[in-house]
Amino acid sequence: MNKTPNQSLTAAIGASWALLLGFGILMLGDGLQGTLLAVRAFREGFSTTITGVVMSSFYVGFLAGSLWAPKIVRQVGHIRVFAALVALASASILVHALYIHPVAWVVLRLISGFCFSGIYIVAESWLNDSAPNESRGQLLSIYMVITYVAVGVGQLFLNLSDPVGYPLFVLTSVLISVAVVPLLLSASRAPSFEESSSVRLIDLYKISPLGVVGMFGEGLVTAAVFALGPVYAALQGYSNAEISFFITAPVLATVLLQWPIGHLSDKYDRRWVITIVTFAAALAAVGCVFAAQLSVWWAIVAFGVFGGFALPMYSLCIAHTNDHLQPEQMVAASGGLILAGGAGAILGPFVISLVMNISQVGFFWALTSIHVFIGLFAIYRMIKRKPTPLDQQGHHVPVTLRPSSRVVETIQEHLRDDYPHNEADNTDK
């Protein structure tokens, strides 16, 4: 007897609850980690530019991990790699508190980015493998909501102690370490991967210029929000509690707006939705400049509105790109889109930190400029190309700036020719 979609989703959640729980705990630590380091860097007297370099290095390690982690997995197995990376990520955050120097922190952030990339690859592969086709999109949507909420709540842990001390670093390490328990207990077998065709980034741009440009721009924005948002708040003289609320607001607003925005993009020409949403984000960023002059709470509300429009743009760009691809190209194209977004994420904190050296509110003017450019480019593309018929558009699935399980499959497929293996090689012993 075939299961209904609801029964299939319920069964998938039942099979994945430990994985979702563990990943939620991991995201609590991840959310706290980024804000803690940004605030601590400010308290230690790091310049805005140096802080931008430190925070950008995480994404350099992140991309390196997305390329190298699959090779390591093939050699020693998913479970061993996952456990090793969690241990290394847990240790690296503690070392931040022992050696407070920009060079040391750049190296440590590189290591942390590498570890988290590998952790996402292994964990999301299991999640993707545990759900049947008819419920995978829904399960990944639930996973993304858990991710957003956990990252947002993680910011609030900043209120538990002074960032200048050690306790918050220890708490972050504990959260990362504890997360491994349900995640490892949930693993029954290594995921399998199917063949996919390759798509070069230049070819991907020719297929969907707006998708690639939008992903690059949103990489700039997303990384800057989480890396420099706490720095901006600290420069404004906000308390630890106010800083935590300031960074939590855009994350929780995204949880509320992600689905309705995605739903609209499935019903109408996705380029119009991208244009309206990105201009709304630009307008909200301008509003943040003036809200900051009223009170800290108005600033928090305005930044939340900005995040609610800005962060879902990532999913919109991926969905728009997939509208122009053949099914067998989508896996490979996801890898190219992540590289475009990752390149933006590497540059974002550094470039915008230079603008902030001129003026603190340059943080918002830079975010405004990026979204205005995306909107203008979207209008240009609508003039150049006819819309995709609605019945040919794919479904929107919310994602963030992380390597999804589809991207993992892409990376591993590209490595397969260089690292031949049989089915036994992909099983943990």
Q: For the segment 80-134, what is each residue's pLDDT rounded down to a tens digit?
A: 888 888 899 999 999 999 889 999 999 999 999 888 888 877 776 666 666 555 5
- Where b means 16+ CB within 10 Å and e means fewer, 303-314 reads bbbbbbbbbbbb
In angstroms, how far apart are the furthest CA atoms of the chain? 66
Give the chain's radius of gyration (CA, Å).
Answer: 21
Q: What is the pLDDT of residue 369?
A: 95
Q: Where is pLDDT greater, at 194 or 75? A: 75
Angle among Cα 226, 231, 232 to the nearest 5 degrees reads 100
Q: How do residues 172-216 score in pLDDT, each as one tens digit?
A: 999 999 988 886 776 555 555 444 455 566 777 787 788 888 889
Report residue 342 as tokens: 């990752």
Alpha-carbon distances of 125 from 10, 132, 273, 399, 428, rounded to whole Å: 19, 13, 30, 15, 14
Residues of the chain above pLDDT 70, percent: 74
Q: How do residues 10-37 score in pLDDT, each as one tens digit?
A: 776 776 777 788 888 988 998 899 889 9
Q: Give the mean pLDDT of 418-428.
A: 39
Which residue matches tokens 């301008």? Answer: 286
| pLDDT tier for residue 325 given thresholds of 50, 70 and 90 | low
Q: Give the mean pLDDT of 349-366.
A: 90
| pLDDT tier for residue 417 given thresholds of 50, 70 and 90 | very low
* Statement: residue 7 has pLDDT above 70: no
CA torsion 393→262→329→324, rounded to 10°?
Answer: 40
CA distance 27 to 71: 25
Q: How do residues 240-283 score in pLDDT, each as one tens digit?
A: 889 989 999 998 898 888 778 877 877 777 888 889 999 999 99
CA distance 417 to 20: 33
Report residue 334 as tokens: 């996801």
Q: How do residues 269-323 score in pLDDT, each as one tens digit?
A: 788 888 999 999 999 999 999 998 899 999 999 999 999 999 888 777 777 777 7
Q: What is the pLDDT of residue 418?
A: 36
Q: What is the pLDDT of residue 118?
A: 82
Beta carbons of 170 and 93 less than 8 angstroms apart: no
| pLDDT tier for residue 386 given thresholds of 50, 70 and 90 | low
Q: What is the pLDDT of residue 194?
A: 46
Report residue 56 as tokens: 């950008």
| pLDDT tier for residue 331 given thresholds of 50, 70 and 90 | low
* Statement: residue 404 has pLDDT above 60: no
Q: What is the pLDDT of residue 428?
A: 40
* Statement: residue 328 has pLDDT above 60: no
Q: Where is pLDDT greater, at 406 or 349? A: 349
* Statement: residue 401 has pLDDT above 60: no
| 127 Cα distance to chain centroid | 17
Residues in the chain: 429
The secondary element (H helix, E strand) that includes residue 103 is helix 102-130
Alpha-carbon distances of 334 from 44, 72, 121, 189, 212, rounded to whole Å: 39, 21, 14, 24, 10
Report residue 376 as tokens: 């203008």
Residues of the chain above pLDDT 90, percent: 23
**358 backbone φψ class: left, alpha, beta (φ>0; ψ -120 to 50):** alpha
CA distance 99 to 104: 7
Concatenating the DSSP letter of every residue in 382-399 gives HHHSPPPPGGG-------
Predicted structure pTM score? 0.75
Domain regions of the chain by residue span: 17-188+197-419
Q: How do residues 122-179 score in pLDDT, each as one tens digit?
A: 776 666 666 555 555 566 667 777 888 888 888 889 888 888 888 999 999 999 999 8
Beta carbons of 130 and 84 less than 8 angstroms apart: no
* Statement: residue 396 has pLDDT above 70: no
Count Cα atoms within 13 angstroms, Cβ side, for 405: 22
Q: Give the mean pLDDT of 360-365.
A: 92
**What is the fold, at CATH topology level, of the domain defined by 17-188+197-419?**
Growth Hormone; Chain: A; (1.20.1250)
Closest to 190 (Cα-Cα) out of 121, 132, 125: 125
Q: Where is pLDDT greater, at 148 or 388? A: 148
